[in-house]
């Protein structure tokens, strides 16, 4: 398994262990992790800290050229908010763990020239399946449903 | 002037006075402000706290039905990140101060059924024109350019 994707999965597991939503993400530039994060809705009472947003926030302020040469790893297909953020910063490539439990704005990303790779990873899917079964209301809240 | 829009402008001015990016926003439900905020890139070193995101974050965790009956006021046309967030939460109406200094993803919002009203407010435009002239690099950073 790709070491960066593995780190995103570790972040997702960390979120799950904290009683949160098990989605993790890592921003990588020049083969180096700039920031990692996981969904913080429960932990920080946040409505914007999805895994991808947390990873970007933890990466801190960066010049445009850094984002434009980075890859974002995320365990779940990115929602409209996270996809919009990927477009705002011009991140050219997104590696997604799975899109079976939730399908985000992959079409919007592709239509805007972003390379989207879906791994269909079994572990990511199981994490989300378990979580959604255990806390369906929390999950619905996180996706605005 | 609409009192809620006026509050968004106050938030933008507050951001400017703090040496930050002068964009403010207010989330309104049933004629009551749930949250207000302004861009915090400078103040918090944040790459995700645009005015709209700050207002939503300050409004706290809310059930889907609240967002679906809310109006988001913002002094500037919302970028792809903020537009994606509006879509995630199903906010049906957005009132925008101006879109001359920056045109965000209004078409994406409209294509997804969001009512978009642009006021073309002179004060909002002047705030942004002054700011962009004074700190062009900071502005470019905020929009990923």
Q: How far apart are CA A20 and CA A131, in angstroms?
A: 9
- pLDDT of A1 strictly over 90: no
Instruction: Please give, rounded to a whole number of angstroms, the shortest distance from the CA of A58 to a CA of chain B.
Output: 9
Helix H or strand E encompassing A96:
strand A93-98
Q: Which of A45, A47, A64 sits opposite B144 (nearest CB)?
A: A64
Q: Helices in chain A by DSSP H: which ranges?
A: 3-17, 41-44, 51-59, 64-67, 80-89, 106-111, 122-134, 136-142
Q: Given the residues A52, A106, A115, A141, select the one marked as catalytic.
A: A52
Question: How big is the A-B interface in CB pairs under 8 Å?
Answer: 86
pLDDT value of residue B137: 97
pLDDT value of residue B8: 98
Q: How far apart are CA B27 and CA B86, in angstroms?
A: 11
- Contact list in A for residue B64 (CB cut-off 8 A) is 140-141, 144-145
- Contact list in A for residue B89 (CB cut-off 8 A) is 47, 144
pLDDT value of residue B106: 98
Cβ pair A85:B81 closer than 8 A: yes
pLDDT band at A117; cut points 50, 70, 90 = very high
B98 is catalytic: no
pLDDT band at A68; cut points 50, 70, 90 = very high
- Contact list in A for residue B63 (CB cut-off 8 A) is 141
Of A79, A144, A145, which to mutate for an interface test with B (greatest number of B Cβ within 10 Å)? Answer: A144
- Contact list in A for residue B141 (CB cut-off 8 A) is 61, 63-64
pLDDT tens-place string over residues A38-64: 999 999 999 999 999 999 999 999 999
Q: How far apart are CA A15 and CA A8, in angstroms?
A: 11
User: pTM here?
Assistant: 0.98
Instruction: Please give, rounded to a whole number of angstroms, the shortest distance from the CA of B113 to a CA of chain A.
Output: 14
Residue of A nearest to B90 (CA): A144
Instruction: Please give, rounded to a whole number of angstroms, the shortest distance from the CA of B134 to a CA of chain A.
Output: 18
Cβ pair A47:B57 closer than 8 A: yes
Cβ pair B84:A82 closer than 8 A: yes
- Contact list in B for residue A106 (CB cut-off 8 A) is none
pLDDT (tens place) for every residue of chain B, 145 residues total: 699 999 999 999 999 999 999 999 999 999 999 999 999 999 999 999 999 999 999 999 999 999 999 999 999 999 999 999 999 999 999 999 999 999 999 999 999 999 999 999 999 999 999 999 999 999 999 999 9
pLDDT value of residue B63: 96
CA angle B105, B111, B116 (to 5 degrees): 60
Pairing label, strands B70-76, B24-29: antiparallel
């Amino acid at each position: 398994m790709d070491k960066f994707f593995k780190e995103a999965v570790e972040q997702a597991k960390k979120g799950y262990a904290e009683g949160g939503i098990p989605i993790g993400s890592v921003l990588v530039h020049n083969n180096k992790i700039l920031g990692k994060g996981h969904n913080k809705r429960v932990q920080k009472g946040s409505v914007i800290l999805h895994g991808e947003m947390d990873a970007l926030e933890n990466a801190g302020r960066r010049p445009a050229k850094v984002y434009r040469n980075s890859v974002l790893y995320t365990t779940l297909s990115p929602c409209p908010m996270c996809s919009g953020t990927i477009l705002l910063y011009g991140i050219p490539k997104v590696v997604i763990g799975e899109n079976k439990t939730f399908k985000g704005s992959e079409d919007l990303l592709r239509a805007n020239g972003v390379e989207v790779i879906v791994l269909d990873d079994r572990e990511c899917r199981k994490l989300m399946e378990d979580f959604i079964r255990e806390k369906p209301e929390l999950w619905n809240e996180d996706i605005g449903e």
